Amino acid sequence: MTSNSSSKSSTTIIVKGGVKFPAKCVVCGQSSNIETVFISGEPYGFWLGVWKWLFGMTPEIAVPAHKECGKTLKKGLLRKNVHLMILSAIAGGAGLYFDLDLLVIGLIITAVITPSILWQIRNPLPVEFAEVEGNLRFKFRDSNYACEFAALNVVAWRAYY
């Protein structure tokens, strides 16, 4: 275990089977024995993943979080996805309007969303998850929380950045 919980990194953990969380708020790290909030899975995959997310078909799970912490977390998750989708739609729409080649449109979308993705990597949210090939992939901002989480679950894979 590491005591270094830098906010400029995140820990990715893939869980097999049921998910258990430490009895601590995933946002502020203080005790949160009974309060939970439901969060939706992130889009996984550029096209199908985005459509699933837009139609509310990504899985939902309850994470331990105080009411106010949960609101902040949900807003952060929503802002992140809507922001990327709006940027992609504007870039894609402009590309189609000017009748550009699909490859060029793809490159423009990539160029437009890359700074936003880099910013998100540097400023991770407290927790994010996505369904990846039947397992759940979690990303945690706090590496200590991630270690406690990993200890409670059957972990298929983890990575520290």
Distance between the two ends of the chain, CA-based, in angstroms? 14
Beta bridge partners of 37: 63
Tokens found for residue 14? 């893939």
Biggest alpha carbon–alpha carbon distance for the chain: 55
Q: How far is the CB of 72 from Zn ion (least distance, A)?
A: 9
Backbone φ and ψ of 122, nearest 5°? -75, -25
Work out whether 25 is an interface residue with Zn ion (CB under 5 A). yes
Is 66 a binding residue for Zn ion by CB under 5 A? The answer is: yes
Query: Would you count residue 24 as binding Zn ion (CB under 5 A)?
Result: no
Could you tell me which of 124, 122, 125, 129 has the C-alpha nearest to residue 21?
129
* Near Zn ion by CB under 5 A: residue from 27, 39, 108, 109: 27
- Closest contact distance (angstroms) between CB of 127 and Zn ion is 12
Q: Identify residues 39-58 at the interface with Zn ion (CB under 5 A).
A: none
Residue 96: CB minimum distance to Zn ion, A: 44
Judged by the rule CB under 5 A, the positions of this chain that interact with Zn ion are: 25, 27-28, 66, 69
